[in-house]
């Protein structure tokens, strides 16, 4: 048994209420194979059925959440079984849903049908137009995402997370307590990486299993998995290979140059800059870059170009090295062209200030000249997280200036911090780019869970909601009197915004007691800013404590806390899934990537469900698994 599976089973942390921590979807094959041989009742996921050259496959699941692949075949014997280990029982073959077998299944499925949509892919409209659906805390949003794709008829980036910031990049590093930490200035503390609790390999596995079990894969709709904010250079050099291995199933990589940019020193004089460029970059490449910038209708003088090259060249060299490693890992693991392909996004919104069209042109030219053309580029537009852009006319001008460059290179625009923008903002994004865009959303879905739980009639859902809200009150009160100026200022801003929303006085900062009295006098609401900003930290807070030492707790206490979200009622799950789908439908309509009639029909359909099972049944095409 793998160390991570031993840790989980010893602490009674099972897939049913703690999925996607282990890379595997079978933690204890010995127990599952014994259950199969003894004839114990298993759930057969009929909608998961698909075929390969080896035969017909379906997923089966034990009551604790362990899964197995079941193969029915006239041509396979135990000795020639395509996966391992193999259990033959009553004429069928069973295999554990291990990460290793997931790789083998992908190869079998894509060798048999390169258009199969079981796995994330880089083909189709998602290579130029997509909505990025991130998850800051659980996998419970997936039914809503899959319903939206199925009923709108489009693929989206259905799995999107920052790695290693949000997901555990290496479960063995987690078990040895050697994960790095991430600074969160607004709480005045560093929190361990992977603060969601699940691993990148577990999420890779889980998103495939989710789409099989609902029958989504039978639509033939391509979808993608974005390994977001992949850090290039800096302190991440030493674990680069493990980051690459963990993101094996990602069909879409976002390259974040900021770690290397942060340690790069640019020469001061024009002569020194020119000398650096002449010594480190081939003249033919510099000429190609200058020519491509000119092709986009822009001019960059020599000193300006040299300054930018000096700044970005070390990170671009490391990006090339990382890109080659991503390609090599896929070449080694996967047997088909479609299985090895991946999309690239260059995130340049970390460069200082608003991104100029000239900077975008130079960066796209470099990527092209270095043999790693990107599909998306993310300039800085001055977005604030979860806030509408205040001047739509100005936003249109900014996007138009970037689009004039991007369309020359055949590159779509990535809009980061895309949650919480106005319908008018999204309309401008879609109109200017002609739908050639990516909008990243993430924080929105914790908000939607809060709305779902707060409106639930289930006692357990209400208890979770009240505890969750109180956690954010406690963090806000503590932060408002912190010794850290940044933590104190931000906590007070969150508190004031919540009080203003309720049209109450903000003159409450006399003492911690007066702040607590003001916040606890409010009716808990997901509209309150202090709840919105702190909420994602609750999922892995050991024993639910609002203490900095409890945040991002990868011990059993943290995972037992995470399990609370997986225990919500069917009513809560339906409400959450419906709200997730509704938000995606709204994004698709506002950006114009799906027509208004289709979106309207989807909204009407969402209003019709009276059970979560009925909702799930409408993800698969008609007659699949019926």
Per-residue CA distances from 430 to 62, 433, 482, 539 (Å): 45, 5, 42, 34
Query: What are the 10-residue block averages of pLDDT along the chain, 626 residues in total?
Result: 98 98 98 96 97 98 97 94 97 98 98 97 97 90 98 97 96 97 95 96 98 98 97 96 97 95 94 97 96 93 94 96 98 98 92 89 96 96 88 97 97 92 96 97 92 98 98 98 96 98 98 98 97 96 97 98 98 98 97 98 97 98 69
Q: What is the pLDDT of residue 598?
A: 98
Q: What is the pLDDT of residue 353?
A: 85
Tokens of 437: 């865009």
Tokens of 37: 């041989």
596 occurs within a structural domain: no
Which DSSP letter does residue 356 get? Answer: P
377 occurs within a structural domain: no
**51, 105 Cβ separation under 8 angstroms:** no
Tokens of 16: 């049913």
Task: Determine the angle formed by the axes of helices 142-152 and 570-591, rounding to 10 degrees.
Answer: 40
- Tens of pLDDT, residues 402-460: 999 999 999 999 999 888 899 999 999 999 999 999 999 988 999 999 999 999 999 99
19 occurs within a structural domain: yes
Range of the domain at 73: 3-100
87 occurs within a structural domain: yes
Q: What's 61's domain CATH number? A: 3.30.200
> Could you tell me the end-to-end alpha-carbon distance of the chain, in angstroms, rounded to an integer?
36
Q: What is the pLDDT of residue 625?
A: 55
| Planar angle of CA 579, 206, 255, nearest 5 degrees | 85
**Burial of 402 by CB count in 10 Å (0-12 exposed, 13-18 middle, 19+ buried)?**
buried
27 occurs within a structural domain: yes
96 occurs within a structural domain: yes
Q: What is the pLDDT of residue 136?
A: 76
Give the number of other Cβ atoms within 10 Å of residue 267's Cβ: 16
Q: What is the pLDDT of residue 32?
A: 98
61 occurs within a structural domain: yes
What Rg, from alpha-carbon coordinates, does the chain have?
A: 25
Q: What is the pLDDT of residue 321?
A: 98
Tokens of 436: 């050639």
Tokens of 375: 């599909």
Tokens of 402: 């970037």
Q: What is the pLDDT of residue 335?
A: 98
Q: What's the domain count of the chain?
A: 1
With CA atoms as reference, report the closest residue to 191 among 431, 433, 441, 534. Answer: 534
Within 13 A of 310's CA, how many CA atoms are on the CB side?
21
| Planar angle of CA 200, 201, 205, nearest 5 degrees | 120
Tell me which H or E stretch contains 252: strand 252-256
**342, 253 Cβ separation under 8 angstroms:** yes
Q: How far apart are CA 189 and CA 340, in angstroms?
A: 39
pTM of the model: 0.96
H runs (alpha helix) in 12-98: 29-37
25 occurs within a structural domain: yes
């Amino acid at each position: 048994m793998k160390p991570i599976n031993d840790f989980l089973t010893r602490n009674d942390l099972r897939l049913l209420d703690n999925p996607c921590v282990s890379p595997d979807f079978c933690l204890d094959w010995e127990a599952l194979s014994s259950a199969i041989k003894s004839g114990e009742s298993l759930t057969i996921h009929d909608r998961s059925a698909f075929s390969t050259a080896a035969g017909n496959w379906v997923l089966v699941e034990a009551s604790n959440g362990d899964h197995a692949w079941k193969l029915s075949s006239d041509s396979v014997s135990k000795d020639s079984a395509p996966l391992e280990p193999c259990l033959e029982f009553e004429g069928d073959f069973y295999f554990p849903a291990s990460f290793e077998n997931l790789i083998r299944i992908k190869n079998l499925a894509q060798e048999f049908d390169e258009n199969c949509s079981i796995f994330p892919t880089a083909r189709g409209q998602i290579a130029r137009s997509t909505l990025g659906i991130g998850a800051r805390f659980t996998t419970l949003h997936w039914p809503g995402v899959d319903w939206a794709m199925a009923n709108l008829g489009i693929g989206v980036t259905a799995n999107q997370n920052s790695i290693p910031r949000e997901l555990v990049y290496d479960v063995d590093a987690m078990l040895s307590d050697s994960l790095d930490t991430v600074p969160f200035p607004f709480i005045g503390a560093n929190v361990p990486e992977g603060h969601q609790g699940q691993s990148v390999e577990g999420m890779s596995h889980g998103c495939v299993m989710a789409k099989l079990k609902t029958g989504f894969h039978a639509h033939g709709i391509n979808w993608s998995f974005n390994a977001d904010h992949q850090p290039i250079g800096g302190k991440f050099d030493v674990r680069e290979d493990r980051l690459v291995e963990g993101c094996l199933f990602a069909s879409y990589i976002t390259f974040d140059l900021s770690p290397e940019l942060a340690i790069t020193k640019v020469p001061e004089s024009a002569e020194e800059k020119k000398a650096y460029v002449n010594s480190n970059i081939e003249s033919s490449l510099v000429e190609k870059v200058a020519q491509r910038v000119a092709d986009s209708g822009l001019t960059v003088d020599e000193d300006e170009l040299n300054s930018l090259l000096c700044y970005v060249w070390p990170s671009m060299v490391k990006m090339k090295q990382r890109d080659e490693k991503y390609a090599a890992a896929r070449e080694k693991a996967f047997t088909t062209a479609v299985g090895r392909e991946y999309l690239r996004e260059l995130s340049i919104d970390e460069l200082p200030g608003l991104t100029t069209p000239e900077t975008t042109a130079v960066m796209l030219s470099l990527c092209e000249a270095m043999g790693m053309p990107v599909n998306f580029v993310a300039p800085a537009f001055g977005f604030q997280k979860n806030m509408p852009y205040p001047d739509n006319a100005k936003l249109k001008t900014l996007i138009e200036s970037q689009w004039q460059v991007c369309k020359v290179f055949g590159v779509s625009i990535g809009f980061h911090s895309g949650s919480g923008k106005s319908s008018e903002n999204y309309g401008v994004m879609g109109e200017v780019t002609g739908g050639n865009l990516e909008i990243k959303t993430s924080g929105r879905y914790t908000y939607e869970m809060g709305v779902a739980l707060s409106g639930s009639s289930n006692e357990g859902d209400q208890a979770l909601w009240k505890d969750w809200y109180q956690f954010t009150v406690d963090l806000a009160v503590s932060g408002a009197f912190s010794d850290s100026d940044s933590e104190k200022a931000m906590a007070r801003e969150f508190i004031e915004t919540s009080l203003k929303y309720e049209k109450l006085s903000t003159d409450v900062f006399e003492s911690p007691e007066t702040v607590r009295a003001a916040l606890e006098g409010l009716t808990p609401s997901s509209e309150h800013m202090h709840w919105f900003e702190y909420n994602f930290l609750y999922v892995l807070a050991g024993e639910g404590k609002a203490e900095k030492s409890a945040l991002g707790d990868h011990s059993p206490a943290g995972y037992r806390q995470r399990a609370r979200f997986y225990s919500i009622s069917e009513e809560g799950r339906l409400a959450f899934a419906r709200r997730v789908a509704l938000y995606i439908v709204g994004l698709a309509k506002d950006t114009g990537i799906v027509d208004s009639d289709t979106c309207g029909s989807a909204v009407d359909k969402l209003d019709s469900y009276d059970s979560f099972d009925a909702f799930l049944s409408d993800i698969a095409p008609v007659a699949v698994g019926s």
